[in-house]
Amino acid sequence: MSNSTPKKGLRKKYEAFFAPSGRLLANTRITPNMISMLSVGASICSCVAYASGPEIGISLGLLMGTFLLGVSSLLDMMDGSLARARGIAGHFGALLDRTLDRLSEFFFLLGIMIGGYVIPELVFFCFEGMILASYVRSTAELRGGLNMNSTQGIFERKEKLTLLSIGCLLEILLIENILSNLWPFTNIGILAVIILIIGIASNISAFQRLLFARKFHTRI
């Protein structure tokens, strides 16, 4: 029996979309690890932008932070495309990529928390879910021999960051009173709700991965 499952449609689509850029970069001296480090650098800048919101303007801080979040995510997708184009995607590269992904997520949420957009309790809950989902997947692959290419769970990382970006942009509209008449919850912002949803979905994903690992091992 195969110990892997097919990739989700969304993952297939963005891998196909970035494949040409990977082939183009394959002709340069740029390495996937270089791009990964640039991605983390962009996430640090995103953190600073989010955290600077009270000084430079709440909406501007959110806008700049979200733009840099998008840059970081774009670079994260490009490093994988380059590795596949060169045929050098390996275990250490995957380990480094996942490690830096968690670091980037930490900086995004840290900036949002410091900027005062969302209460710390929700930020910690969201990050706990992200870490737990990643930990379950990595442990299942390491100790259980699974190859969870589909990243089992209702949310993948790209989906979480996309939803986080949408939440930030909607929060700007709420702050600028463009959505104020359409948002019924006067005591909580849209971004706080989005972060709560991401936290819940991440924890559900962790549980789904546990069930997937359990199902696999009961069949062998």
Q: What share of the chain is helix, strand, coil (3-state, %, to 5)?
A: 75, 0, 25
Rg (CA), the chain: 18
Q: Name which of 66, 101, 70, 79 is nearest 15 in CA terms.
A: 79
Q: What is the mean pLDDT of the chain?
A: 85
pLDDT for 201: 94
pTM for the full predicted model:
0.87
pLDDT for 89: 65
User: Alpha helix locations (H) across 53-118?
Assistant: 53-56, 58-86, 91-114
Q: Name which of 8, 1, 18 is nearest 205 in CA terms.
A: 8
pLDDT of 220 > 80? The answer is no
pLDDT of 219 > 60? The answer is no
pLDDT for 147: 62
pLDDT of 86 > 70? The answer is yes
Collect all residues with Cβ–Cβ distance below 8 Å to 123 and sequence separation of at least 6: 109, 110, 112, 113, 195
pLDDT for 144: 60
pLDDT in tens, 116-144: 999 999 999 999 999 999 888 888 777 66
Given pLDDT bands bounded at 50, 70 and 90, which one contains residue 2? very low
Residue 183 phi/psi, 5° resolution? -100, 115
Distances (CA, A) of 26 to 78, 100, 159, 196: 11, 21, 27, 39
pLDDT for 65: 98
- 102 against 146, higher pLDDT: 102
Class of domain 9-217: mainly alpha
